[in-house]
């Protein structure tokens, strides 16, 4: 049934030309990891620290849930299950890891769903944010890289994680000194997921020529990334509250300066430092440490730099 739906969408995609296809190919970009990180960073640094924290905590939780389910279900991508499925263009390059559930959909639910729930926005923008979630999810089906159940479960789980995080943040607001408890539980879970992904057996299915269909160790890479990001957020979140304590209640000029400096330095970290660390260490440890550095920079290091430089400039 799911493959038949994808085949019907593929026939439609091939028949209507490139207008709708190009649009949905751009929409899927909004669910990519780097897009999610940039949006969250800008909100966190320059718009609303509390909202940014909520988005990143929800996203971190979703990456952990997504990672553990991927390596548990070990569901093959649609084109591996059925050779008639031909993903559109280069969309296959961002379809990493196992198929179930959809990571792009969970990313979009975390970011745009979170903005719709928590953001102080007009109704029209809330509706737009919700529509983006639906379009990102549908784009994964339309482009042939995920089944409908991958997307549907991704939306449901993403929403449930957001609801849990909303309650957790309210609890932390009432018990500010116990944020370490939330972080400690999250760290234990993230480490447990990483160990689970490293030691569990993976399917070893071969094609007619004796070639391994899917390398489970390679598929688990997304799970290790999620664990590294989640650990970085939790550690950085607690450290920022104790050693930085920056505020987004600053003039517009300062907000814009933060955004420009932050994004430039973030890309320097992501495109220079992260690959060096990942390649230098290698394996799951290299993946986790490099991803840790990426998010730790966003959550703690850059905010800490802001408190020092902005304080000096004000003297």
Could you tell me which residues come within 8 angstroms of residue 237 by beta carbon, excluding any fewer than 6 positions away? 53, 56, 57, 179, 183, 299, 300
N- to C-terminal Cα separation, the chain: 66
Considering Cα of 211, then 217, then 219, then 221, what sign does the dihedral take? negative
User: Token pair 């739906």 is at which residue?
Assistant: 5
Could you tell me which residues come within 8 angstroms of residue 234 by beta carbon, excluding any fewer than 6 positions away? 60, 182, 183, 186, 187, 190
Q: Cβ(35)–Cβ(29) under 8 Å?
A: yes
Backbone angles phi, psi at 48, to 5 degrees: -155, 105
β-partners of residue 206 are: 212
Peptide bond into 101 cis (omega under 30): yes
Residue 146 annotated as catalytic: yes
Could you tell me which residues come within 8 angstroms of residue 34 by beta carbon, excluding any fewer than 6 positions away? 270
- Among the listed residues 215, 118, 214, the one whose alpha carbon sits nearest the alpha carbon of residue 166: 118
Q: Which of 146, 225, 258, 278 is catalytic?
A: 146
Note the Cα 81 to chain centre separation in Å.
Answer: 25
Q: 137: which DSSP letter?
A: H
Q: Which of 104, 140, 258, 278 is catalytic?
A: 104
Q: Which residues are catalytic?
A: 104, 146
């Amino acid at each position: 049934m799911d493959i038949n739906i994808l085949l019907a969408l593929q026939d439609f995609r091939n028949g209507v030309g490139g207008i709708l296809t190009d649009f949905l190919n751009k929409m899927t970009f909004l669910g990519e990891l780097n897009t999610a990180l940039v949006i969250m960073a800008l909100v966190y640094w320059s718009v609303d620290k509390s909202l940014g924290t909520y988005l990143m905590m929800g996203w971190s939780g979703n990456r952990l849930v997504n990672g553990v389910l991927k390596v548990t279900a070990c569901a093959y991508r649609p084109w591996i299950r059925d050779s008639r499925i031909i993903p559109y263009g280069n969309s296959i390059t961002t379809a990493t890891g196992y198929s179930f559930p959809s990571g792009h959909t969970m990313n979009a639910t975390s970011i745009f769903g979170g903005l719709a729930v928590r953001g102080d926005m007009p109704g029209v923008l809330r509706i737009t944010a919700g529509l983006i979630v639906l379009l990102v999810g549908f784009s994964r089906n339309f482009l042939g890289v995920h089944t409908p159940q991958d997307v549907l479960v991704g939306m449901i789980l993403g929403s449930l994680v957001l609801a849990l995080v909303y309650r957790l943040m309210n609890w932390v607001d009432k018990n500010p000194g116990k944020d370490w408890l939330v972080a400690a539980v999250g760290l234990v879970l993230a480490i447990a997921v990483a160990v689970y992904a490293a030691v569990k057996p993976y399917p070893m299915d071969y094609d007619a020529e004796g070639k391994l269909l899917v390398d489970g160790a390679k598929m688990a890479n997304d799970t290790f990334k999620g664990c590294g990001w989640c650990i970085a957020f939790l550690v950085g979140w607690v450290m920022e509250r104790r050693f930085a304590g920056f505020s987004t209640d600053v003039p517009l000029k300062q907000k814009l300066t933060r955004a420009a400096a932050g994004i430039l330095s973030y890309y320097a970290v992501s495109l220079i430092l992260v690959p060096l660390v990942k390649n230098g260490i290698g394996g799951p440890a290299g993946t986790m440490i490099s991803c840790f550095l990426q998010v730790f920079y966003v959550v703690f290091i850059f905010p800490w730099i802001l408190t020092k430089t902005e304080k000096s400039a004000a003297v």
